[in-house]
Amino acid sequence: MKSPKTPEMKQAPAVDTQDKPTSGQVGPAPEVADKSKTPPIADNAVPFEKAKRLPVLCAVREQKAQQALPAGEHF
């Protein structure tokens, strides 16, 4: 029963060697560069503005939660 496990251990490094040449080809890199040049950057600005508001929203929720609790209790 130990012998079937040894071929599996040998297959794992083979998969790693196959991944290394694909990363060496640098095929996806130009595609990423092309996507960065496209206009959807304006669409990305909207979630960024929402991300700026998140700390404010969290602070408001904390204030409401503290008001809901009695003065002596904290969570």
Give the torsion sign (CA, 5, 7, 9, 15). Answer: negative
The residues, ordered by sequence, that sit 6+ positions from 75 with a Cβ below 8 Å of its Cβ are: 65, 69
9-51, pLDDT tens digit by residue? Answer: 555 555 444 444 444 455 555 554 455 555 555 554 556 566 6
The residues, ordered by sequence, that sit 6+ positions from 74 with a Cβ below 8 Å of its Cβ are: 66
Confidence category of residue 63, pLDDT binned at 50, 70, 90: confident
For residue 2, the model assigns a pLDDT of 53
For residue 16, give the H/E element and its range. Answer: helix 5-25
pTM of the entire predicted model: 0.23
Higher-pLDDT residue of 38 and 69 is 69
CA–CA distance, 43 with 67 (Å, rounded to integer): 37
Q: Give domain limits for the chain.
A: 45-75
